[in-house]
Chain A
C-alpha cells in the first residue's frame, strides 16, 4: 500500500526529459550524403540519446524510469548531439568520429541499459564495422 502511494507520489517529481525537436537544420543526416545502411544504424541505435529526435516510449514518462531516461538523454546530447552536427568545428567532428569508432568497436555504445530494452538498437559485428568504416572515411575526408 505504501509502495503504491510512493509510486504515485514520485510521479509529481519533474523527470527532466529533454524536449524533442523534429526539424534540425544542422542535423548530420539532413546535411550529408550518408550511406542508407549507416543512416539507419545511426537512427536506430544512436539518435534516441544523441539527437533532438528522441522517441520516448510510454514507460519513459513513468517515474522512476523517467529520471534515469532523462539523465541519460541529457548526458548523451551534451556529449554528442547529431542534430547540431554542422555547427561543430572540424576538430570537434574529428574528435567525435574518432570516439565513435572506439566506443562502438569496444561495445561501450550503445549502452547496455538501453539495448536490453531496445533490442533492435544492439549492433551486430557487421553493423559495428559499417559504422566504424563510415566514421573513418568521413574523418579522413575532413583532412583532405
Chain B
C-alpha cells in the first residue's frame, strides 16, 4: 500500500514546458499537456502499475505513463487507443486490483473523462485520414 502511494508521489507524466523557445518545441516527439483532472484519474487508478518502476511486470510492459513521451508517435497513439478501449470495456483497472483497492475504481464520469482525453489526444497526434 505504502509503495503504491509513494509511487503516486513521483508522478511525472510528460508535462510540457511552456518556456521552451518556439523552435525547440518542434521536436519529433510531440509534447502535450495532461489536464489536471485527467492526471488525477491516472494517478489514482492507473499509474501504480503502469510506470517504469512498477513491480507489476505485466502492467509495466504494457504501458508506462512516465515514459510515454519517449515512444514513437504511432506507439503513443496505439497506447492511447488501447487506453480508450480497455477503460470503455471496463477491463481496466483489473478486478483483482479493485478488490484490494476499491477506492481506485473509476466512476462513470472518470471513465468518460479518461476516454475522451485519450481519444482526443490520439486524434491530435494523428495526421488527417
Contact = CB atoms under 8 A, between A and B. Distances in A.
Interface in B43-76: 62, 72-75
Contacts of B74: 94, 97-98, 139-140, 142-143
Interface size class of B (residues with CB under 8 A): 10 to 19
Interface in A63-104: 89-92, 94-99, 102
A91 B73 CA distance: 11
Given A140-B74, A142-B74, A91 B122 contact: yes
B89 to A, nearest CB: 11
B127 A143 contact: yes
Contacts of A95: 77-78, 81-82, 85
B127 A89 contact: no
A140 B74 CA distance: 6
Nearest to B85: A95
A91 B127 contact: no
Interface string B86-126: 00000000000000000000000000000000000011011
A92 B74 CA distance: 10
A109 B73 CA distance: 24
B129 interface: yes
Nearest to A141: B74
A102 B74 CA distance: 13
Interface in A104-144: 139-140, 142-144
Given A91-B122, A98-B78, A143-B74, 9 more contacts: A94-B77, A94-B126, A95-B82, A95-B85, A96-B78, A139-B75, A140-B72, A140-B74, A144-B127
25 contacts: A89-B129, A91-B81, A91-B122, A91-B126, A94-B74, A94-B77, A94-B78, A94-B126, A95-B77, A95-B85, A96-B78, A97-B78, A98-B74, A98-B75, A98-B77, A98-B79, A99-B78, A102-B62, A139-B74, A139-B78, A142-B126, A142-B127, A143-B77, A143-B126, A143-B127
Contacts of A96: 78
Contacts of A97: 74, 78
Could you say which of B72, B78, B79, B82 has the most chain A C-beta atoms within 10 Å of its C-beta? B78
Contacts of A139: 72, 74-75, 78
Contacts of B79: 98
A140 B62 CA distance: 19
B77 A91 contact: yes
